[in-house]
Amino acid sequence: MDRYLVESPHEADDCDAVIKEIHAAGYLHHFEWGCHDGEHCGWAIIETDNREHAKQIVPWQLRDKARIVKLEKFGPQNQIHVNE
């Protein structure tokens, strides 16, 4: 499985509703939030099969604003950074 950073911005007025929806879906424990610092966004790192699965943890009304980034680590096994 691959690891993805999920970034889900939202409006200040939507904080409670977004958090409740993510909690109801069972993903609240994956997210960290910037709302109390004025950055109305949630971030999560999850392991899943593909980018579309990662996007599914974002409430449907926010998915078009969500950003999904595939993550990888560089180390002895994978030292070369190659643009695809």
Give the pLDDT mean for 55-66: 95
Instruction: Judge whether residue 41 has pLDDT over 60.
Output: yes
Position 11 in a domain? yes
Express each pLDDT in 10-23 by its tens digit: 999 999 999 999 99
pLDDT of residue 79: 67
pLDDT bin (cut points 50, 70, 90) of residue 67 is: very high
Position 62 in a domain? yes
Count of domains observed in the chain: 1
Q: CA 35 to CA 50: how far, in whole Å? A: 28
Give the pLDDT mean for 56-84: 84
Beta bridge partners of 78: 75
Entry pTM: 0.85
Helix (H) or strand (E) holding 53: helix 51-55
pLDDT of residue 66: 97
- Beta carbons within 10 angstroms of residue 80's beta carbon: 5
Give the pLDDT mean for 69-80: 81
Beta bridge partners of 4: 46, 70
Instruction: Please give the residue range of the domain that contains residue 38.
Output: 2-71
Position 83 in a domain? no
Q: How far is CA 47 from CA 14, 64, 70, 83, in A?
A: 26, 21, 10, 22
